[in-house]
Structure 1
Amino acid sequence: MSNNSLDNGYPFVVLGMGCFWGAEKRMLSLEGVLDVESGYANGEITASYEAILAHERQLRLGLSDLKNHAEVVKVWFDPAKTTLEQVLARFWESHNPTQGDRQGNDIGSNYRSAIFTASDQDLPIAEASKATYQQALTAAGLPKITTEITRLTHYTPAETYHQRYLQKNPNGYCGLGGTGVAYPSATRFNPYPNSGLVIYGASNNHNTEAFLHAILETYPLPFEIRRVNTASNTATDTPLTLQFEHHGRPVGEFTGPYDAPYEAFWRWLGQYLLTEEQQYIAFSQGTERPFCGPYLTEKRRGWFLDPLSGVALFHSDKKFDSGTGWPSFYDVMPNAVSLVKDRSHGMIRTEVRSASTGIHLGHVFEDGPAPTHLRYCINGQVLLFKHDA
Structure 2
Amino acid sequence: MKRVVAMAAALGIIMGAYAVEKITIPAQATDYVVLGMGCFWGAEKRMGEIPGVVDVESGYAGGDLPGAGYQDILNHERALRTGKTTGRNHAEVVKVVFDPNKVTLETVLAKFWESHDPTQGNRQGNDIGSNYRSAIYYHDANQKAMGLATRTAYQKALDAAGYDRITTEILPLKNYITAEEYHQNYLKKNPDGYCGLGGTGVKYPRAVGKVAPMQVPPISSGTSSASTSPKMGIEPLKSDDLNPVRQLVAFEAEHCEFCERFEKDIMSHWQAEVPIARTLNSNPPSGWALEKPLFAAPTIVLFKNGREVARYTGYNGEKSNFWKWLGFQLLSPEQQKIAFKRGTEPPFTASNLDEKRPGRFVDPVTGATLFYSNSKFESGTGWPSFFEPVEGAVTLHEDNSHGMKRIEVRSASSGIHLGHLFHDGPPPSHKRYCINGNVLKFVADR
Q: What TM-score, normalized to structure 1?
A: 0.50
Q: Which has the larger radius of gyration?
A: 2
Q: What TM-score, normalized to structure 2?
A: 0.44
